[in-house]
Amino acid sequence: MSATLVRRVGELTTNDPTLGDETAMGRLCDAAFVVEEGRVVWVGSDADAPDADTVIDAEHAAVIPGFVDSHTHLVFAGERSDEFEARMQGLHYDGGGITRTVSATRAASESDLVSGTARRVQQLHDGGVTTLEIKSGYELTTDGEVRQLQVAAHFSNDVTWLGAHVVPDEFRHDRHAYLELVTGPMLDACAHHAQWADVFCDRGAFSVDEARHVLTRAKSLGLGLRLHANQLAHGEAIALAVELDAASVDHVTYVEDQDIDLLAAASTVATLLPGAEFSTRSPYSPARRFLDAGVTVALATDCNPGSSYVTSMSFVIALAVRDMMMSPDEALWSATKGGAQALRRDDVGHLGFGARGDFVILDAPRAAHVAYRPGSNLAARVERADR
Ligand code: NIG
Ligand code: FE
């Protein structure tokens, strides 16, 4: 069996509260850890480190768990920088451009979709992402959504069907027929290509009742649930997510106290996407209110060509710290363990015993540098255990 020892770690963040300083960050100084057969098997002081076949010398740098980006739309063709320019001149984002990406994606070859997705996955990985979720939702036909899910599956074990993203143009005058397609033949064809189902439940997209219908049917076929909610306006989508025990409710920009109370008492994670708020010049989600109420918070890129063409988790962390009043540790936790919880995974997002050996050696002595030095990629070495 081959074992790798990572030694001379100046500051090790494990996110395992049974280790190190016994906080949520599970932090150790002058530490070492061993990965064997892709799993963490030993964590401790560098002075006590055992022998191993391979040794990585961290040279007193900080090491963190690989980022878990739990919300992306990476399978698309084309780009919408003209919409970004218009927004920076004052235009509001309303999701209307989604159908432009649907047209471009439908017209793209599968090999172009694979290579475009691969480039974006590589950018995320180079910045420290070792686990990511990928959604469909840019073809909105049965065959096209299956194709998107198949492309996504090249890169992720957490693939999400988002057939109910918006009503496509050809169904503009008959949304009922589109819902029949989505909940019938499309979902039947897509269910075994996905682990998750998502709905864009918001003003101009799908109503709470429509989302309940789609998600209930998806759940009956064995899919886990997640929800885009309250990005554009307040609605009852958070209550729906909690009612259906969704793993995550995402965006949650417009929230009221009762939404926060519901989430605090539930296992549904609030996934915040500050890249979308930055790129659409929208108000940020009230992260502090969620955290202070005890809600589990994840941070993700929402990488997509419309609202958030962001392929850097470090940038997301910097926004969360600077503009959402999260501490650097809270943001780091939310971008790692929080993301794992949003995917209901306990094998990633931490470096406790049994975790996958997914870690990042930073070009920095402390993890706080990720937020402190925005705009720099501090991920000096990104390791992802084979899976
Ligand atoms: O998460 N809100 C819905 N979906 C994406 C945006 C998609 C787009 O504009 O292309 C989001 O922001
Ligand atoms: Fe999204």
Atom 8 (ligand 1) nearest CA: 306
- What is the predicted pLDDT for the residue at 387? 57
CA distance 180 to 116: 31
Residue 386 is predicted with a pLDDT of 74
Q: Which residues line ligand 1 (CB under 6 A)?
A: 73, 95, 97-98, 101, 200, 228, 231, 276, 302, 304-308
User: Which residues lie closer than 8 Å to 269 by C-beta, 6 or more apart?
Assistant: 247, 248, 249, 295, 296, 297, 298, 338, 341, 342
The mean pLDDT values, 10 residues at a time, for the chain of 387 residues are 93 98 98 98 98 97 99 98 98 96 98 98 98 98 98 98 98 98 98 98 97 98 98 98 98 98 98 98 98 98 98 98 98 99 98 98 98 98 88
Q: Which ligand is nearest to the CA of 202?
A: 1
What's the CA-to-centroid distance between 342 and ligand 2, angstroms? 14
73 CA distance to ligand 2 middle (Å): 6
Taking the complete model, does pTM exceed 0.85, yes or no? yes
What is the C-alpha separation between 243 and 66, in angstroms, rounded? 31
Place of tokens 């008959």: 174
User: Rounded to 5 degrees, what are φ and ψ at 310?
Assistant: -120, 125
With the most atoms of ligand 1 within 8 angstroms of its CB, the residue from 71, 73, 254 to mutate is: 73
CA of 302 to the centre of ligand 2 (A): 5
Nearest ligand, CA of residue 308? 1
**Which tokens sit at 249?**
């409710």
Q: Mind listing the domains of the chain with CATH numbers?
A: 3-66+349-383 (2.30.40.10), 67-342 (3.20.20.140)
